[in-house]
Structure 1
Amino acid sequence: MQNENQTQAQAGPSREGWHKTTIRIPFYTSQHAQIAKQALEVDKEQNGSFVHRELLTEGDILIANYETTTVRLLRLSTNSFLSSLDLVIRTMTSFASDPNDKFISDEELEKNKEEANQSAGGSKEGIELKGDGRGAGSGEEVKSES
């Protein structure tokens, strides 16, 4: 009997009867899911003996498995996780864009600018906004002087 208890203690506490949930979050790519996982793994659970969190990725899906001793801890832990996840996603949106978004080259931007100036009746030099009270901030466009 004592050997059985020692074996169980070495393997960790039993989580029988704990409350469980799984959260699955899709990302643009598997690389994005992996980046989010690495960013979220840095923060360890504060109540480590009462809360168990496991983060995994399956392709472009981040999976968060939670097990807690009480429903209240499950709610608090997942709310905290979702708050951190929100920050990670906002940051990734700014710095790791959707790979399906078309990347516009400098040449395409220049062509778009020229087309916009031509359709607005401007010359090839384009429209310049001057800061002398007539341009920027006044709503008055001033054509560049050649």
Structure 2
Amino acid sequence: MASQQAEAGPSREGWHTVILRIPFYTPGHAQLASKAVDVDREQNGTFVFRELQVEDDILVVSYAATTVRLLRLATNSFLSSIDLVLRTMASFAPDPSDIRPTDEDLARVRSEANRVSGGGKGIELKGDGKGAGSGEEVR
């Protein structure tokens, strides 16, 4: 997938360039990130060119700009956007190699915690109604 932000026009010879290579957990994650940031167009499309490519699990972003200042602004804006994408993916599309507990694992841990803590009775009120949760101070 590639996206061109600037119309074909003057040669980009002499423009300032940078290439960013951002690794992801899987090729699918890299494709998803590419699609998420591809919708954002460059504000200075005449003076800034951006191309996105996915190479296996790497998002490759190539920038070219007429000035160093525009290049810095464009890449800073992009890095801010990709940071949001990465943080979102960390929450909703975690590393597939991370071990995730099954329901059976969680039930086993819960059972063991109840056994160790006395059978899972939890917090109980005293017979006189005083104690945790009663709203009255216990002396």
CA RMSD of aligned residues (A): 2.0
Match of 2:19 among 19, 22, 38: 22
The corresponding residue for 1:143 is: none
The corresponding residue for 2:80 is: 83
**Structure 1 residue runs of 4 or more that deviate by more than 4 Å after TM superposition:** 129-133
Task: State the secondary structure of the residue aligned to 2:59.
Answer: strand
Residue 96 to residue 73, structure 1, CA distance change in 2 (3 Å): same
The corresponding residue for 2:62 is: 65
Q: Which amino acid aligns with 1:19?
A: H
Match of 1:44 among 41, 44, 49: 41
Between 1 and 2, higher relative CO (CA 8 Å, sep ≥ 6) is seen in 2
Q: Which amino acid aligns with 1:80?
A: S
Q: Which amino acid aligns with 1:40?
A: V
- Structure 1, unaligned runs of 5 or more: 1-9, 136-146
Measure the CA separation in 2 of the matches of 1:130 and 1:51.
67
Residue 101 to residue 129, structure 1, CA distance change in 2 (3 Å): farther
The corresponding residue for 1:74 is: 71
Query: For each residue in 1:19-57, what CA deviation from the matched residue of structure 2 results, as whole angstroms up to 9, or x when unmatched?
Result: 000000111111001100000001010100100000111
Task: State the secondary structure of the residue aligned to 2:53.
Answer: strand
Residue 11 to residue 96, structure 1, CA distance change in 2 (3 Å): closer
Aligned counterparts, 1:1-146, within 5 A = 12-120=9-117, 122-123=118-119, 126-129=120-123, 134=132
Measure the CA separation in 2 of the matches of 1:73 and 1:133.
65
Q: Larger % of helix: which?
A: 1
Task: State the secondary structure of the residue aligned to 1:49.
Answer: coil
Residue 52 to residue 133, structure 1, CA distance change in 2 (3 Å): farther
Q: Which amino acid aligns with 1:134?
A: A
- Structure 2, unaligned runs of 5 or more: 1-6, 134-139
- Please give the TM-score of this superposition, normalised by the length of structure 1: 0.78
Matched residue count? 123
- Please give the TM-score of this superposition, normalised by the length of structure 2: 0.81
Residue 17 to residue 133, structure 1, CA distance change in 2 (3 Å): farther
